Amino acid sequence: MYSKLDVETIAVIFFAILLNYCDGQTTQNINVIFANEEGNVVADKALEVAMTYLKKNNKLGINVELRRVVGNRTDSTAFLESLCSTYNSMLVSETFPHLVLDTTMTGLASETVKSFTQALALPTVSASFGQEGDVRQWRNIDENETNYLIQISPPADIIPEIVRTLVLNQNITNAAILYDTSFVMDHKYKSLLQNVATRHIITPIKETNQIAEQLTQLRKLDLVNFFILASLRNIKKVLDAADSLSYFNRKFAWHAITQDDGELKCVCRNATIMFVKPSPNAAYQDRLGTMQRTYQLNTEPIIASAFYFDLVLHSFLAIRDIILDGTWKNAGNDYVSCDDYNGNNSPKRTNLDLKKYLNKESTETPTYGPISVISNGLSYMEFQMQLTSVGVREGASDKSLNLGTWLSGFDNNLTLVDAQAMVNLTADVVYRVITVEQKPFIFRDETTRSGFNGYCVDLIDKIAEILKFDYEITAVESFGVMDENGKWNGAVKELIEKRADIGLGSMSVMAERENVIDFTVPYYDLVGITILMKLPETPTSLFKFLTVLENEVWLCILAAYFFTSFLMWIFDRWSPYSYQNNREKYKDDEEKREFNLKECLWFCMTSLTPQGGGEAPKNLSGRLVAATWWLFGFIIIASYTANLAAFLTVSRLDTPIESLDDLSKQYKIQYAPLNSSSTQTYFERMANIESRFYEIWKDMSLNDSLSEVERAKLAVWDYPVSDKYTKMWQAMKEAGLPANMEEAVDRVRASKSSSEGFAFLGDATDVRYLELTNCDLTRVGEEFSRKPYAVAVQQGSPLKDQFNTAILQLLNRRELERLKEKWWNKNPEKKDCDKVDDQSDGISIQNIGGVFIVIFVGIGLACVTLAFEYWWYKYRKNTKIIDIQEAPNQPQKAQANPKNRHLLESRPLDNLTLKNKTVYPRPRF
C-alpha cells in the first residue's frame, strides 16, 4: 500500500487540480471595444492600470479581450470606419462584444460612438462630457435603451458647476470664465449659468503671448470676476498676465479652479486668489495611495485617472456579473454587422439592466469616490473640492486660509468655515465715472473721498447708496462732439470704447449721442443756452446834476446873472421913478427896498427859486428887466429839470443787448461758445441746415424742368429762409471759440462796456452759476434750445435700468429738490452783490448827493461869513459908539432949524447923524 508521504503528495496534487478547475470555472472572458479620442492620455493610462490590476487580482475572475479604436473630434467618417472594421472583425471571429467602453469627451468623436452603439444596440458605458440632453445621439433613446446605454460625467464635467455655486453664493453680476483643454465647456455655454442674472463669457485660454490682450478685451466688457478652469501651469500663465496688467486690486476677483493636486504658483506682486482643487475623501485615501504606489496610477490629474480607473473596473465587474447571473443570455445576443445595418434592423436588447449592476455594491473600494449612476447627464463620481484663500506677495505664497468645501453635484451649496471670509474675496462693484468739471455740478475737492464735490457727486452718492456700488471719477476736457468722420472725443469716446462705465455731469441729452451711448431718465430740468455779458456799469457822480448842462451853458447863465443884476442896479440908480430917487413918494409903503448892487444880486438869485425874488423895483425899466429875468429863469429851470430826469433815466436804460437777435444784429460785441461744447454743435448745425436749405431753394428755383406755374410759385423777391445762424456762426469763428470756461470769463470781463467787448454763449446753468458767484457778470436774454441733463452709460449697459429706478426713487423722495437748494440757493460761493438799479428805483444818493454837499457848503460859508462879520465889526471898524439919551423938553432953548426938521423926521434913529458923526446902535449879544 501507499506510504504516508505518497498520500500527502497525492492530496496536494488533487487540491491543486481542484483549485485550478475552480479557477477555470469562475474566470469570465469579456470582449470590449475601447473607443477613445486623440489626446485623452489619462483615460488610456487608467485603462492600462485597470488591465494590470485585473491580471494581478485573479480572484476577480475577469479576462478582458480588448480592442482599441482611436479617433479625433473632427473626422467622424474615419472614426466610424475604424469602429465598424473592429466590430465586424469581432463578429467574424465570433468574439462578440460585451461592452463598448467610450472615453471620448465631446465633438464628432463622441457623437460617432453614440450613434454607432445605439444603432447596433451595443451595451455602452460612456465617460463623455455633457448633462441631460447634451449628448444629442442619445437624447431620444427609450427607457429600455437607457438601461444599457450609460453615460457617466467625468470630474472635469462636474467641477465647473462650482462656478454656478460661487456666483450664487457671492451674488456676482458678471463673470469671465476661462478654460483650457483639460475642461470641455462646449455644452456649458448655455447651461452653466442658466436662469442666473449674471452677465458672463465662457472662452478658452489663448496662447501665452495673447493672454494679456485677452484679459484686456474682457475688461473692456466690464467683466471683473474671473474664473480660471485649467491646469496649474495654465493658471499661472493667466495670473502672471493679470499681474502685468495690474488687475489685482479691489475691483477684481480671481478664482483659480483646477483638477490638479498641487499648489498655486504665480509671480504676482500682491494678489489674493480663491484657489479650488480636489480633495480626496479620507475614507479612500489608503486605496488611492495603494493604486499610486503599486500600480503607478500617477497620471495627472489624479482625480481623472482615479475616475477612469474606477469606471473601467466597475464596468468590467458589472458585465461579469451580468454574464454570471445568466442575464446576458436572456438579453438577446443578436448582432448586426455595419454592412448589414439599414436603419431598421437594430437588434433588440431586453432585460439588460447594466445600470443596476453598476450601482450594485462592489467588493472593490472606490479609488477616489463612489460613482453614482442615476441617469444620463446626472451620473458622476462623488468627490469634494477644497476652497482656499491664497495670498501671493512678490511671487511667493505668504498665507493660506481654509474657506470650506464643495461636494460635487448640481446646485450643491458650499460648506463654509467663515462666511465673512468669502465676502472679502468678492470684487467690489467699482464703476469708472468720466466727467467734465463744471461748478456747481462737479469740481475738484481733495478733502472728499472721491476727490470731487458738487451736485452730481451728491447725486451719484445717493444712487450708490441704493444700488450698493463704489466709483472712481476721472475728469476729461469735454463731454464730446462728433467730427466729420463720425468719430467722437471726450467723455462719449470713453464710454464708447468701454474705458468708462458712467458719464456724469451737466451732460445734455442729444440725438447723436443717443446713437452711440444710452442715457438714463433726466435728473435735472430742461436747460437751454443763454448769454453771459459783463454787467453794465452805470457811472455815478455826486455832482451829476451839474453835468446836465454843458460848461458853456453854465458860464452863460452865470454871465447873464451878473449882467442882469448889474443892469438892474444901474436902472434903479438912474431912474427918477426908483425908490432911492423918490423916497418921499414911497414913504408910506410898507416895503421900502433900495436896489443897490447887493440887493440886485440877491433879487436875481432868489428869482430862480420857488421862494421868489421878493419886492420888485418901483421903476418900470427895472421891472422890465426883472420880468425878462423871470422869463429867462423859468425857461432855464424847466429845461434843467426835464433834462435832469431824462439824463438819469437814460443812464439806467443803457442795455443794448437783450436777446440773441440783438446780439446777431450788431458788430461791436463779439460772441462765441466753448470749443467742442454742445452749444458750438448747436450753432454749427443750425448754420449747416440754413446752408442746405439755401442750396435746396436755389436748385428748385433754377430747375429748368419746372413748369411756368411751378416756377412762378418760387419767384420771390426775398430769400425765404433766414440766414441768421449762418452769419452768427461765421462771426463766432472770426471771434475765436474759447478753449475753456476760464478763458471765456476772462474775455467777458475784459469787455470795455456792455456795448463793446465779448459775450459768452453757453449752458444756462454755467451762466447762472457765474452770475451767482460774480458780481460783475450778468445773464442776458431767454434760454433757447433747451435739453435735459441725464447720466450717460455704455450702450446696452444694464446700469441704465438700475439708474432709472434709483433716480425715480430720489425724485419721489424730493432729494433732487434738496440738492438744488443746497448747490444753488445755499451755495457757499454765492456772492452777496449790491442790488442793481432798475427803472422802478428812485435816484440814488450817488447821483444826487452833490445837492447835499451844496447845502453843507452853503452853511459852512454862512458860518465863515458870520465870523468875518463879527471880526470886522469889532476889530476893524473904528466907529465911535455913543449912547443916545432922550433930552427933556426945553421949549425955551433954541428951536431946531425949520430947514433941517424934515431931515430929522425923515431919517430913522439908527441912521442919526450928530455933528457930522454917524451913530450906530450897540449890538446886543
The predicted-structure confidence for 99-127, as pLDDT tens digits, reads as follows 999 999 888 899 999 999 999 989 999 99
- In the predicted model, is pLDDT for residue 503 greater than 80? yes
Higher pLDDT, 346 or 293: 293
Cα 703 to chain centroid distance, Å, stands at: 51
pLDDT number for residue 908: 45
Tell me: the pLDDT tens digits for 626-685?
Answer: 888 888 888 888 887 888 777 766 655 455 677 888 888 888 888 999 887 888 888 988
- Between residues 521 and 591, which one has the greater pLDDT? 521
pLDDT average, residue stretch 12-19:
42
Contact 776, 534 (CB under 8 A): yes
Alpha helices in 702-837, H assignment, sequence order? 708-714, 724-735, 741-749, 764-773, 799-812, 815-820
Q: What pLDDT is recorded for position 909? A: 40
- For the cut 50, the answer to whether the pLDDT of residue 895 exceeds it is no
Q: Read off the pLDDT of each residue in 830-842 and give the average, rounded to a whole number.
A: 63
Q: What is the pLDDT of residues 679-726, one digit of tens each?
A: 888 898 889 888 888 888 878 777 778 788 887 777 776 777 778 888
For 852, phi then psi, to 5°, come to -70, -35
How far apart, in whole angstroms, are the C-alpha atoms of residue 19 and residue 251? 71
pLDDT in tens, 72-92: 888 888 999 999 999 999 989
Of 236-250, 425-439, 496-510, 877-891, where does mean pLDDT reach its minimum? 877-891
- Alpha-carbon distances, residue 437 vs 432, 449, 472, 520, 568 (angstroms): 16, 17, 14, 20, 78
| The pLDDT of residue 923 is above 70 | no
Selection from 442, 503, 527 nearest residue 741 by Cα? 442
- pLDDT beyond 90 at 452: yes
Q: How confident is the model at residue 405 (pLDDT cuts 50, 70, 90)?
A: very high
**Dist CA 811 CA 805 (whole Å):** 10
pLDDT at 332 over 90: no
Average pLDDT over residues 334-357: 85
Kindly report which listed range (304-318, 468-482, 842-856) carries the lowest average pLDDT score. 842-856
Least confident of 8-17, 125-134, 252-261, 561-570: 8-17
Q: Which three cell numbers stand for residue 888?
A: 427933556
Is the CB of residue 542 less than 8 Å from the CB of residue 853?
Answer: yes
Question: Could you give the CA distance from residue 341 to residue 332 in angstroms, rounded to a whole number?
Answer: 17
Tell me if residue 719 falls in helix, strand or coil.
coil
- Other C-beta atoms lying within 10 Å of the C-beta of residue 71: 25
pLDDT band (50, 70, 90) for residue 916: very low
Contacts of residue 375, defined as CB under 8 A and 6 or more positions apart, other chains included, come to 132, 146
Cα separation values, 838 from 319, 652, 767, 795, 896, Å: 107, 7, 21, 50, 79
What tens digit of pLDDT does each residue of 842-879 get? 556 665 666 566 666 767 776 787 788 778 777 765 55
CA 264 to chain centre: 38
Average pLDDT over residues 263-278: 91
Model confidence pLDDT, tens digit, residues 783-806: 888 889 999 999 988 899 999 999
Mean pLDDT, the chain, integer: 83
Average pLDDT over residues 188-217: 91
Give the chain's count of helices (H) and strands (E). 30, 28
Q: What percent of the chain has pLDDT over 90?
A: 31
Rounded mean pLDDT, 424-451 = 88
pLDDT at 911: 42
* pLDDT exceeds cutoff 60 at 777: yes
pLDDT of residue 914 exceeding 50: no
- Quickly count: other Cβ atoms within 10 Å of residue 694's Cβ: 15
Q: Residues within the annotated binding site for L-glutamate? A: 508, 513, 678-679, 763
User: Which residues are annotated binding-site positions?
Assistant: 508, 513, 678-679, 763
Q: Which of 200, 253, 262, 252 is nearest to 231 (CA)?
A: 262
Neighbouring residues of 197: CB distance < 8 A, sequence distance ≥ 6: 173
Q: Which residue has the cell 463704489?
A: 470
Q: Which three cell numbers stand for residue 73?
A: 473630434
Q: What is the mean pLDDT of residues 276-286?
A: 89
DSSP string, 886-920: PPPP-TTSPPPPHHHHHHHHHS-GGG-EETTEE--
pLDDT band of residue 900 (cuts 50, 70, 90) is very low
Secondary structure class of 721 (helix, strand, coil): coil
Query: Which of 22-36, 380-394, 404-418, 536-550 is predicted least confidently?
Result: 536-550
Which whole-number Å values give the CA distances from 511 to 113, 566, 739, in the listed order? 57, 84, 24
Which sign, positive or negative, has the C-alpha torsion 297, 300, 301, 307?
negative
Q: How is residue 384 annotated by DSSP? A: E
Q: What is the mean pLDDT of residues 889-915?
A: 44
Dist CA 267 CA 603 (whole Å): 111
532, pLDDT greater than 70 = yes
What residues contact 605, with CB distance under 8 A and at least 6 apart? 561, 613
Residue, of 924 and 233, whose pLDDT is higher: 233
Among 629, 638, 606, 642, CA closest to 557? 629
Please, which residues bridge with residue 518 across strands?
793
**In this model, does residue 152 exceed pLDDT 90?**
yes
More confident residue, 665 or 309: 309
Chain segment 385-400, per-residue pLDDT in tens: 999 999 998 888 878 8
